[in-house]
Amino acid sequence: MQASNREQAYKKAIAIGRLSSGGSIHNSSGRIGKWRFEGLTSLLPVYDDLKHGAEILWVEHENRTVAEVQRMAKRKQELECFDGLPQKRAAGKAQS
């Protein structure tokens, strides 16, 4: 999914994350877990053309408590694509 600026990319990533919440999963030890969106840990700009289904980055976090995952989630201004930008630009006022 393409975004025209950083703010739009952030909003789309949050929407996709929220849509993914709710499913359940069985881990390798047989425990049942539930998918729950807690926020973004990273949001990087991609400048190359991508094909549908391309995997950019995958990090698996097994056996984490909800509290650990919540601590890993970053506020919008802490994400790489916003880090170092003046607040006005981060809000999508300038072109990316």
- Domain range for residue 74? 6-84
Q: Give the amino acid at 91.
A: A
For residue 90, tell me if it sits in a domain. Answer: no
For residue 44, tell me if it sits in a domain. Answer: yes
pLDDT at 73: 94
pLDDT at 1: 67
pLDDT (tens digit per residue) in 52-65? 877 787 787 777 88
pLDDT, average across residues 66-76: 92
Instruction: Give the Cβ contact number of residue 7 at 10 Å.
Output: 19
For residue 52, tell me if it sits in a domain. Answer: yes
pLDDT (tens digit per residue) in 15-46? 999 998 888 878 778 888 788 889 999 998 88
For residue 89, tell me if it sits in a domain. Answer: no
For residue 69, tell me if it sits in a domain. Answer: yes
For residue 1, tell me if it sits in a domain. Answer: no
Our count of domains for the chain comes to 1
pLDDT bracket for residue 76 (50, 70, 90):
very high
Q: Which residue has the higher pLDDT, 91 or 37?
A: 37
3-state class percentages of the chain: helix first, strand second, coil last, to nearest 5: 35, 5, 60
For residue 91, tell me if it sits in a domain. Answer: no
For residue 92, tell me if it sits in a domain. Answer: no
Contacts of 32 (CB under 8 A, 6+ apart): 24, 25, 26
pTM of the predicted model over 0.85:
no
